[in-house]
Amino acid sequence: MQNVELLLPAGNLEKLEYAIKYGADAVYLGVVDFSLRAMRKGELITLDNLGHAVELAHSLGAKAYLTLNIFAFNNDIKLLESCIDRFKDAKPDAVILSDFGIFNLVRKYMPEIPVHVSTQTNTLNYESVKFWKDLGATRVILARELPITDIAEIRNQVPDIELECFVHGAQCVSFSGRCLLSDYFSNGERKANHGNCSQPCRWSYKLVESTRPDQYYEINQDERGSHILSPKDLCLVEYLPQLIDAGVDSLKIEGRTKSLYYVSAVAKAYRGAIDEILAGKTDDLHKYFIELQKVGNRGYTQGFALGDNNGDSYSYDISKGLAGADFLCEFRKFKTDDDFYLVKIKNKMLLNDEIEIITPDEQFKTKVIAIKNEKGEEVEVGNTNDDVYIKFSQPPKDYRYALARTIGVKQHVS
């Protein structure tokens, strides 16, 4: 079984670092105006620090791919031409794009940089893959709508190009993200394909009959309406052997706007699964599916991968991802004199709580045995967003990149 790349999103510099530490072989990142995800939190990746982001990934032993996959208008092309030298100077390992105009500019000004063709091109067949290969692309990111059997046929027909597939994360109601609902519902102010989707597929809808404009009818027996357009999240961790056997070179995780915890925990689960598969162990992949239930999701589906996508792939009850475990804290510093750790509280933690700690190399249960506030006073609770000192019955061997969460998978009532 051939080696395979685990590709994680890098929504900001911190997430980039955690993604790689938790197992990513490569990350994909975007800058404002040219990416399909508009970042809002953390140390954002900009034209000014793009080179640093790429260097950081390289220093950690990973590759960094730059996303320029918007659908470009004339003004976008002019803007790209004005700053393309800065993209070139950053020296990304590849550029991800979907627009022919951007393709031309990248080949003209950055001919030495490999081109990865975005899933936004909706590549569904081997002739399309051949087309992109003949243009000079080195990798094609296939549409999410392909069954594994079709992927295998594409590999057989085009053996000399890299293939990348999404295996985890949110899905779009339209073909691989080519959606205009957000544009229409926001009067053009929230363009989905310019990184600012308002996600109307996640909204709750009711039915109205045209001659009775004031009478609204429930689509089902739910006082909140029905999320008739909201797909469940993709999760193919138990089907990675079939994807690898089909010839997929890179397994991609969606989620540049997701939390630091999400990126870390998902990377850890898929890294563990891939390593077991490459070692010939494929009989207990379900444990990784359980692990992935601990991060935010709208329910999981295999989408089109098995060739039987149907109504069960939609989340009719919820639109927001709910996590099976609460993210409790991230570790900041070790206080050597009394074995306390400075942590940033994400969800309230209480004295004597039993929790789970994960690091890139560990996963274990432990107990909160003491809490101190920033003044050094002993307290019984660490409140959300507080910086507090905590002592654990079993601390991590290496606190850097350590995260804490609740134990087990809680069931949500819809």
pLDDT digits (tens, 9 = 90+) for 116-170: 999 989 999 999 999 999 999 999 999 998 999 999 999 999 999 999 999 999 8
As beta bridge partners, residue 199 has none
Mean pLDDT for 349-367 is: 98
In the predicted model, is pLDDT for residue 192 greater than 80? no
Strands 115-117 and 139-141, bridge-based pairing: parallel
pLDDT digits (tens, 9 = 90+) for 245-287: 999 999 999 988 889 999 999 999 999 999 999 999 999 999 9
Per-residue model confidence (pLDDT) at position 312: 72
Do the Cβ atoms of 401 and 350 come closer than 8 Å?
Answer: no
* Most confidently modeled range among 36-45, 212-221, 299-308: 299-308
Query: Reduced to 3 states, what is the DSSP secondary structure of residue 229?
Result: coil
The span from the CA of 330 to the CA of 144, in Å, is: 33
HSE-up of residue 2 (Cα within 13 Å, Cβ side): 13
In the chain the domains, ranked by start, together with CATH numbers, are 5-175+230-313 (3.20.20.70), 327-405 (2.40.30.10)
Per-residue model confidence (pLDDT) at position 190: 75
